[in-house]
Structure 1
């Protein structure tokens, strides 16, 4: 029975994935318009960030929409397939769970922020319209 359930959800995910990705690209929000100087300052702040994500994960899409709305240039690291990003997420972040925002500090410390709502709150606080 467990096998049938697993097959059902894998099939469902394969069918829905293209629609979720297309929906994200077709409904991307317009970003905040900043002066070139202000955008450069924001880009410097986002240079320390990387978002580990799966392209069709609804929670990852939610975070990427906020990044688009805030006009943030955060490096996206696809951790879906086995490879460097997935290994790094597991080794340094502690588990393979997305979305996960890697926040590096200038002193070399690294913070791994899981949970889409926590990531969004961090981005809003740091780069929102007042930042």
Structure 2
């Protein structure tokens, strides 16, 4: 079973690299706003998880440089995810709120909807 997962993981990563969407052309102010947004969020992921790939592709399409942490290989990231989010499930977006607290969001569709909601006004400026 481990060999099959390894092979599928490699296939997923190859497909991701071959199908990367183009980022939008952003002006300096838009890039700065995207960088500010990117500093507020961190994606906890497994590299070959198809749902994590879906989120990474959506962030690329928006031109949002997401910081990622591999909760499979990085034990510190795994502990952060479990302690902060309450469970080891990926993808999970950690959102640093203005009040200093973190909000943990699971489910790829919810994460993508949140990123779209935050980034679309920046792109449309």
Give the length in aligned residue pairs: 123
- Which one of the candidate residues 46, 60, 76 is aligned to 1:84? 76
Aligned to 2:61: 69
For structure 2, list consecutive stretches of 5 or more residues without a partner in the other structure. none
**Length-normalised TM-score, structure 2:** 0.92
Relative to structure 1, is the Cα distance of residues 99 and 35 closer, same or farther in structure 2, using a 3 angstrom cutoff? same
How far the C-alpha of 1:14 sits from its partner, in A, is: 1.1
Aligned to 1:93: 85
How far the C-alpha of 1:82 sits from its partner, in A, is: 5.1
Distance 1:82 1:24 in 2: 21
**Length-normalised TM-score, structure 1:** 0.88
Aligned to 1:24: 16
Aligned to 2:104: 112
Aligned to 1:130: 124
Distance 1:38 1:82 in 2: 32
Distance 1:68 1:38 in 2: 15
Relative to structure 1, is the Cα distance of residues 22 and 40 closer, same or farther in structure 2, using a 3 angstrom cutoff? same
Is the radius of gyration larger for structure 1 or structure 2?
Answer: 1
Higher relative contact order (CA 8 A, sep 6+): 2
How far the C-alpha of 1:46 sits from its partner, in A, is: 1.6
For structure 1, list consecutive stretches of 5 or more residues without a partner in the other structure. 1-7
Distance 2:24 2:96 in 1: 24
